[in-house]
Structure 1
Amino acid sequence: MNIQKKIWLLAVVVLLIMATIWMSLTFYNQKMQDQYNNILERYLVMNELTSTSQQMVTALNNYLLIPVAENLETIDNSKMQIQEMKEEVADFKNTENELALTSYINLIDSLIETTDRSLVFHSEAGTENARRALNEATYISNYISEMTLTLIDTELKTYDRFYRGIINQSEELNQLGIWVLLLITFLLLLYTYWFSLRITKPVEQLTRAASELSKGRFDLKIEVDSKDEIAFLGKMFEHMRNNINNLISEIQQKAQLENELQQSKLLLKESQLRSLQSQINPHFLFNTLNTVSKKAYLEGSEETSDLLVSVAGLLRYNLKHLDKSMTLYDEVNVLKQYINIQKARFTDRLTFHTEIDQTCLHIEIPGLTLQPIVENAMIHAIEPNEDGGVIWFRVKDEGDRVTVEVEDDGPGMPKDKIQQIIDEEQQHDTMAGHASGIGLSNVVKRLRLFNGCEDVIKIEGNKGNGTKVILHIFKERGVDRDDKVTTG
């Protein structure tokens, strides 16, 4: 039985008990009231009959003195009322008052007959006979009054036992009502206790189970001894406990595997980074030295000295800071040294424009990231063109990231080749053979390892319209972003 049915059962039981008590009391009170009204009606009818008989005699006397229609009408009305009350008195007969009531009714008939005879004598001018009939009617009326008192007294004696019985029954009813009330109260308390126990006991079991679960004890079985919605809730609670217990076991296993995997990834990333860093070849160094030697041959020593300073700084940076993360400020400075060297090589054939947001230069990136991108533009846009070309270098703040753009006005490249460059599996074969030995693929791989995400590069351009390489350097590395998302 569910909780709703139990509540309805309790309400129905209480309602039936209250209805039974109310109907019993109502029936008993109505019965007593009917008996009391019946007795009172007997007294009232006989008393009214006495009063009406005296009124009729008085009206008869007035008529004999002053024979007007109003007095005659009063006599007729009184006779009609006496006739009606006589019929009511006839219904009051019982074994104890039958003789007295019969005489009483005969007196009423005699009073009516005497009154009619007095009216007849008066109409025949028999004043003396009318007066004698009036006196007789007065005598009968007085006798009726006396007999009414006698009958009422007899009725009081007759119903004295009834009155006392009513009083005794009332006292017994009061005592019975008290005992019934006590019994009903006891039964209701007993049923209410049983009813509440059937609800609160399973709830207490669920509460204790929830308390144990809150303490982290997921090994205790949850059992609820009931056959209602709480039992179903207990089963769902037990199912949830099993799921949580299994989930905790899985999480522990996954955490252990994740820890082992993370260690393996760190080792792998370190190995990949060192492998990428080891791919520097001396090709760029040789070209630079050739340029410096030609410049020293063609020009004076002052400009050659500046060029050698740039070369020395560039070599020092490449060899000393390649395995570290550097700020964008350091990368821009070494890029400027690289451009100075290339301008000495290409002279007027090279035009280099910069647009740098100084507020972004504190961002960290892997060492030797910008030079390979610009060098790629040198190889593909400047060297093949006899007239040289233009390279634009931009650093912009894009909110959560800093974008670095390297754009040239070279021959560009088709869409399919751009897709091959973006695709990590194809990059090494298509773009690796650069003068510096660190191709675009190595730059992309290092940025991806450094940022912890794949979205680090975008290449725009069509064949014949130049090329733009866009690098995304996130202000927060991948691990920091994941921690923020988890915390949020």
Structure 2
Amino acid sequence: MNSIQKKIWALAAVVLFIMVAIWITLTYYNQKTQDQYNDILQRYLRMNEVTTASQMTVTALNNYLQTPNKLNLAQLDWSKEQIRKARLEVIDLRNADNDFALTNYMNLIDSLVETTDRSLMFRSEKETEDSEKAFSEATRISKYISDMTLTLLDTELKTYDRFYRGIIEQSTEMKKMGIWLLLLITFLLMLFTYWFSLSITNPVQKLTQAAKELSRGRFDLQIEVQSNDEISFLAKMFDRMRININNLISEIQQKAQLENELQQSKLLLQESQLRSLQSQINPHFLFNTLDTLSKKAYLEGSEETSDLLASVAGLLRYNLKRLDRSVTLYDETKVLKMYMEIQKTRYTDRLRFLVSIDESCLYVQIPGLTLQPIIENAVIHAIEPSEDGGTIWFRVTDGGDRVTIEIEDDGPGMPELKIMQILKEYPVETEGHSTGIGFSNVVKRLRLFYAEEQIIDIESFPGGGTKVILNIPKTRAVEKVDKASDRG
């Protein structure tokens, strides 16, 4: 996991931890308070159940005495069972404040049950008067139980009055503490977030400032970013790039005239402009200088830079010498590989160049600087605009009396109108060509060289890539005529 991701996850974990801690604390406090309330309420309810059960017992006894049947007897037994259960539950309510009162309370319950049983016994023995006396006593005991229940409830209320007040005060204090805790957490989170944001934004700001200074041409300022994440690595790579650029500029500044000519060689020039440029510079001086730079880079350990300069020298030498006459397909493919080496250095892994060549076809004559502008067009329009780069295929196959050359890319393709403009030799702008020879110029030179119109074809549609197909004869029409005249 990347360092910045770790920081973000750490911030999320801190916030989540604080939220969970607050939630657990509030839940625990609420549950504790609720349990205390439930305990007190259960005490009141149990005492009230005794009163209710005693009254139900007296009522059931009266119903049975008035109408002695199995239903009323069953109701009476059930009522006695309820008051016994209530008595067992009341036992758990004993404490130091109500010990004496609760003991009398339990005795009253036992007396009620005993008196009820005695009334039933007299009733079964036909002693009506004694049964009624026992019923009256049971009624009086039930009334005592009700009064005693009220007394116990009053005692409970007095006992837990402090508890109620304590809960109210505790709730008030909890509210105050919650407010202060919320303010403290908010402050800590803001402080942590501020520190967290600074750990990311400060390096980015330094890197941005360094980029601004580089854009102003100040390559001598060292880039220092104190962090342990991806931005630090990016800053190191950026500083290394600055050093490389600064070294390159220092070397180029020693040869101001050469720099000017090299910059001029990157402009889009037509064939006449290229010749004009050739007449303005000394090729030997240019090539010797590039060779010197290449050897110097090699001695300094920059072998890739040395190879790159060697490729540039070879490409310039070829461009200046081969434009005005035909060359073999072997020469064209050789300089094409030099050109692609330069482009691979520029685009690295974004550019994939796949080659398939039938070497038996490399002796065929072709106009100089034919393949490079086509490949260059593919690089500019298919590879450069794509963030992921792309692939260019270069194929040379034997087709009998002709050689087929295919240059294909997987870029965005061309609209049909542009294809027609190229094939009909209408002026088409092709920005960025180092040779200054446009696509339409290549088409025109091929047709003039081979004296054929159907020498080139383009297959493309938007979004489907572009394939340029050259069907060149192994023997030019001029060469055929020369051979026929020699035979005659």
Q: Normalising by structure 2, what TM-score?
A: 0.55
Identify if the C-alpha distance between structure 1 residues 119 and 222 changes in structure 2 by more than 3 Å, giving closer, same or farther.
Answer: same
Counting only pairs closer than 5 Å after superposition, residues 149-188 of structure 1 correspond to structure 2 as 149-188=150-189
Match of 1:255 in 2: 259
TM-aligned CA deviation for residue 72 of structure 1: 1.1
**Greater alpha carbon shift after TM alignment, 458-467 vs 12-21:** 458-467
1:46-445 mapped onto 2 (5 Å cutoff): 46-249=47-250, 253=255, 254-256=258-260, 258=262, 263-264=280-281, 399-400=444-445, 403=448
The equivalent of 1:7 in structure 2 is 8
Cα deviation digits, residues 293-314 of structure 1 (max 9, x gap): xxxxxxxxxxxxxxxxxxxxxx
Distance change (3 Å), C-alpha of 1:57 and 1:460: same
Using the TM superposition, give the Cα deviation of residue 257 of structure 1 relative to its aligned residue in structure 2, in angstroms.
Answer: 6.0
Measure the CA separation in 1 of the matches of 2:446 and 2:97.
120
Change (3 A) 1:466 1:124: farther
* Alpha carbons 1:107, 1:144 under 8 Å: kept: yes
State how far apart, in whole Å, the 2-side matches of 1:405 and 1:89 are: 119
Q: C-alpha distance in 1, partners of 2:449/2:39?
A: 115
Per-residue Cα deviation, 1:409-467 (whole angstroms, up to 9, x for no partner): xxxxxxxxxxxxxxxxxxxxxxxxxxxxxxxxxxxxxxxxxxxxxxxx87534997446
Q: Note if contact 2:261-2:281 (Cα within 8 Å) is conserved in structure 1.
A: no
| Aligned partner of residue 71 in structure 1, secondary structure | helix
CA positional deviation for 1:215: 2.9
Alpha carbons 2:203, 2:226 under 8 Å: kept = yes
- Whole-angstrom CA distance in 1 between matches of 2:89 and 2:228: 68
Distance 1:163 1:405 in 2: 109
Could you tell me how far 1:68 is from its partner in structure 2? 1.6
Provide the rounded CA distance (Å) in 2 between the counterparts of 1:118 and 1:402.
135
Q: How many angstroms apart in 2 are the aligned matches of 1:126 and 1:209? A: 116
- Render the CA deviation track for 1:287-337: whole Å, top value 9, x for unaligned: xxxxxxxxxxxxxxxxxxxxxxxxxxxxxxxxxxxxxxxxxxxxxxxxxxx
Output the amino acid matched with 1:24.
T
Assess if the C-alpha contact under 8 Å between 1:461 and 1:467 holds in 2: no
Gaps of 5+ in 1: 269-396, 407-456, 469-488
Deviation of 1:218 (Å): 2.7
CA contact (8 A) 1:460 1:467 kept: no
Structure 2, unmatched stretches of 5+, are 265-276, 286-441, 452-475
Flag the structure with larger Rg: 1
Question: Counterpart of 1:224 in 2: which secondary structure?
Answer: coil
What amino acid does structure 1 have at the position aligned with 2:112? L
- Cα offsets for 1:56-97 (capped at 9, x unmatched): 111110111111211111111111111111111111011110
Write the distance in 1 (CA, Å) between the matches of 2:177 and 2:36.
22
Aligned to 2:36: 35
Please, what is the CA RMSD of the aligned residues?
3.2
What is the TM-score with the length of structure 1 in the denominator?
Answer: 0.55
**Contact 1:52–1:82 (8 Å) recurs in 2:** yes
**1:11 CA drift (Å):** 2.2
